Amino acid sequence: MQCMYAASDLAGTMKLQYDVSARIIRMPCTARLDINFILKALQEGADGVLIVGCHPGGCAFKTGNLGAERRVRFARKLVGQMGMNEDRVKMVFVSAAEGNKFAADINKFAEEIRKIGSNPIRL
């Protein structure tokens, strides 16, 4: 997530706008991502969870982002088994220099979530 935070900062510097409903939660690396973080966000009312990691091969911790990608695939299956649309959980990759891609990915995901609708298990 080092890339994600730098890309979000660059998007801000470039004055790019992305969906106001997005909430950025900074982590040292997607390697630290736990499936429970995703499920907890949905349980507490998030309509969707977008994980943004460094491009494959670009992770400072070697393969942290690839492990996160496997966990995201598993989390999507769990979300589907809970009766929710798996597309509420997604992972994308950006580099620190891709502020425009970061903003575009956020906006695209927000639009996808709006089409899916509100979280049915919001507590």
How many domains is the chain partitioned into structurally?
A: 1
Rounded Cα–Cα distance for residues 51 and 15 (Å): 22
44 located within any domain: yes
Please say if the pLDDT value at position 122 is more than 70: no
Residue 123: inside a domain: no
- At 11-24, the pLDDT tens digits run 888 888 888 888 88
Residue 121 lies in a domain: no
- Report if residue 6 sits inside a domain: yes
Q: Can you tell me the mean pLDDT for 80-92?
A: 95
Q: CA distances (Å), 24 to each of 6, 48, 74, 116, in order? A: 12, 12, 22, 21
Residues 27-81 pLDDT 10s: 888 888 999 999 999 999 999 999 998 888 777 777 778 889 999 999 999 999 9
Q: Which domain holds residue 15?
A: 2-20+30-116
Query: Does residue 25 lie within any of the structural domains?
Result: no
Higher pLDDT, 83 or 62: 83
β-strands 89-93, 49-53 pairing: parallel
The answer to the question of residue 77 being in a domain is yes
